[in-house]
């Protein structure tokens, strides 16, 4: 379907797309139960630097699963993170495979790092010994390796591919998964995003002078950049009524600059309006907006202006990146999972919201939004609808609307 101006919108807004199950791992924890209380508390404790000289980073702590020998060429940290997340939804995925058949089970995942951290280790070994580390395989570097790996875990024989559009990858993977269901190319999809920490990413963002000296401070006049993170979220999507639906997806392309957003936020605004149109909702029907909210000077100025134009100043908004870091290709999936959590754990007619962590110093160049305060809830009788923004380098933008079924 097309929106005004020729923007292509994912999906029809008519077919159901139920989020049947979610798995998650990030700096807040390694399960939904671990993440939930820390999310709504706005807990930033996990964002402390690992050592005094280091920058803050949102890492997934603890041991990661062992990858079976048959999948050894894909045994990188990124895939271990994926396995940690997948194991949380494995039983439900297996039930879907038995119900529909393996050829009708698809996989669409997003990443930007793939196995780069393992390649870094392999080349360090080569500099010392003259040989690459024995456990390293080229397949670990390939973006498609993530989809191949998750398809193996799921026993999926339907379409399986990876999307890599920088920071919008995880959100676009969900939009693409919904399209596969609507096109009747499958009956169930494992979709989401996973990204792991690596030095290449850290140094790349540092070279752009985009990394905060401390914890990211989105929407503040004192903001000085993003804080990086890692993690993942995987969803089981079914073409069914009920539960919480992926109700709308809007995508746009700025095509303005390799790393800077279009200054007037036209692409940001277009994808939000497209997501609303796809979900057949008005802006006033959105109970909460999860901001892309990177804490960089340009994103916050541009995004706040676009959000104000679409929603006005009344909708509660927050950035969750001070809690988990900017997980790049996984961020859109993680933040969609946060929105799912807010609705799945509603309290009567109210939704608990994640507070916006910042120093409270407003910037006259940042549009005034209603930033969520500590302990805040919003009155949102079911069916509530939430919107999540994900904006990637090169102007690759995606907004998702999650909505409780009527």
Mean pLDDT, rounded, of the chain: 93
Mean pLDDT, residues 205-221: 94
Q: Check the CA dihedral 375-192-255-312 and report its sign.
A: negative
Residue 384 backbone dihedrals phi, psi, to 5 degrees: -80, 155
The contacts of residue 58 (CB under 8 Å, 6+ apart) are: 26, 27, 46, 47, 227, 228, 229, 230, 231, 323, 324, 325, 326, 327
Q: Encoding tokens for residue 337?
A: 């999972």
Question: Strand, coil or helix: what is 383?
Answer: coil
Q: What percent of the chain has pLDDT over 90?
A: 79
Q: Is the pLDDT of residue 31 over 90?
A: yes
* Residue 7 pLDDT exceeds 50: no
CA 187 to chain centre: 23
Predicted TM-score of the model (pTM)? 0.94
The alpha carbons of the chain give a radius of gyration, in whole angstroms, of 20
Indicate the Cα dihedral angle 207, 109, 324, 21, nearest 10°: 180
pLDDT, tens digit, for every residue of 91-100? 999 999 999 9
- Residues contacting 84, CB < 8 A, separation 6+: 25, 30, 60, 64, 65, 232
The pLDDT value recorded for residue 55 is 86
Q: Which two tokens stand for residue 289?
A: 């907006």
Taking 80 as the threshold, does the pLDDT of residue 53 lie above it? no
- The mean per-residue pLDDT over the stretch 239-254 comes to 96
Please indicate whether residue 123 or residue 47 has the higher confidence score (pLDDT). 47
CA distances, 384 to each of 12, 321, 334, 338 (Å): 20, 23, 19, 14
Comparing 20-34, 110-124, 275-289, the range with the smallest average pLDDT is 110-124
Which residue bears the tokens 């392999």? Answer: 122
Domain boundaries, the chain: 9-404
User: Which residue blocks in 87-143 are alpha helix, DSSP H?
Assistant: 90-100, 116-129
**C-alpha span between 366 and 358 (Å, rounded):** 14
Task: Name the token pair of 336.
Answer: 């969609």
Q: What is the DSSP letter of 66?
A: P
Tokens for 197? 């920490």
Look up the CATH superfamily of 9-404. Thiolase/Chalcone synthase (3.40.47.10)
1 and 9 Cβ atoms separated by less than 8 Å: yes
Residue pLDDT, tens place only, 142-162: 889 999 999 999 999 999 999
Strand 370-371 versus strand 231-238 pairing type: unpaired
Backbone conformation region of residue 209, classed left if phi is above 0, alpha if psi is from -120 to 50, else beta: left
242 — phi, psi (to 5°)? 90, 170
At what angle are helices 77-86 and 116-129 packed, to 10 degrees?
150
E strand residue ranges, 101-182: 105-110, 160-163
pLDDT value at 45 more than 70 = yes
The neighbouring-strand residues paired with 10 are: 249
Kind plus residue range of the DSSP H or E element containing 247: strand 244-253
Dig out the tokens for 395 from the structure.
């102007």
Query: Residue 393 to residues 6, 154, 319, 351: CA-CA distances in angstroms?
Result: 21, 31, 18, 32
């Amino acid at each position: 379907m097309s929106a005004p101006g020729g923007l292509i919108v994912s999906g029809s807004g008519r077919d159901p797309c139920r989020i049947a199950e979610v798995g998650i791992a990030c700096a807040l924890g390694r399960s939904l139960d671990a993440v939930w209380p820390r999310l709504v508390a706005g807990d930033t404790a996990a964002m402390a630097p690992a050592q005094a000289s280091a920058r803050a980073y949102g890492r997934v702590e603890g041991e990661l699963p062992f990858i079976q020998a048959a999948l050894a060429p894909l045994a990188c940290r990124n895939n271990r993170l994926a396995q940690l997340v997948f194991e949380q939804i494995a039983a439900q995925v297996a039930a879907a495979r038995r119900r529909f058949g393996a050829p009708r089970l698809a996989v669409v995942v997003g990443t930007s790092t793939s196995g780069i951290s393992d390649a870094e280790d392999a080349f360090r070994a080569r500099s010392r010994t003259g040989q690459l580390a024995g456990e390293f395989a080229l397949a670990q570097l390939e973006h498609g390796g993530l989809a191949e790996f998750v398809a193996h875990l799921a026993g999926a024989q339907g379409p399986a591919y990876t999307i890599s559009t920088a920071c919008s990858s995880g959100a676009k993977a969900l939009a693409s998964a919904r399209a596969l269901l609507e096109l009747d190319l499958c009956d169930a999809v494992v979709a989401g995003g996973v990204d792991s920490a690596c030095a290449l990413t850290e140094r790349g963002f540092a070279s752009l002078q985009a990394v905060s000296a401390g914890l990211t401070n989105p929407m503040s006049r004192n903001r000085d950049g993003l804080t990086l993170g890692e993690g993942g979220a995987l969803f089981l999507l079914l073409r069914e009524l009920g539960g919480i639906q992926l109700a709308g997806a809007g995508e746009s392309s700025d095509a303005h600059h390799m790393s800077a957003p279009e200054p007037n936020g036209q692409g940001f605004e277009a994808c939000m309006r497209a997501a609303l149109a796809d979900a057949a909702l008005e802006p006033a029907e959105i109970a909460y907006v999860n901001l892309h909210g990177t804490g960089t000077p340009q994103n916050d100025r541009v995004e706040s202006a676009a959000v104000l134009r679409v929603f006005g100043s009344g909708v509660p908004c927050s950035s969750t990146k001070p809690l988990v870091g900017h997980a790049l290709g996984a961020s859109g999936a993680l933040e969609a999972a946060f929105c799912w959590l807010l609705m799945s754990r509603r309290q009567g007619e109210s939704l608990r919201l994640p507070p916006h962590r910042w120093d409270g110093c407003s910037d006259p160049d940042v549009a005034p939004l209603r930033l969520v305060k500590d302990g805040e809830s919003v009155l949102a009788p079911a069916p509530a609808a939430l919107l999540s923004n994900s904006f990637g380098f090169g102007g690759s933008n995606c907004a998702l609307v999650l909505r409780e079924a009527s």
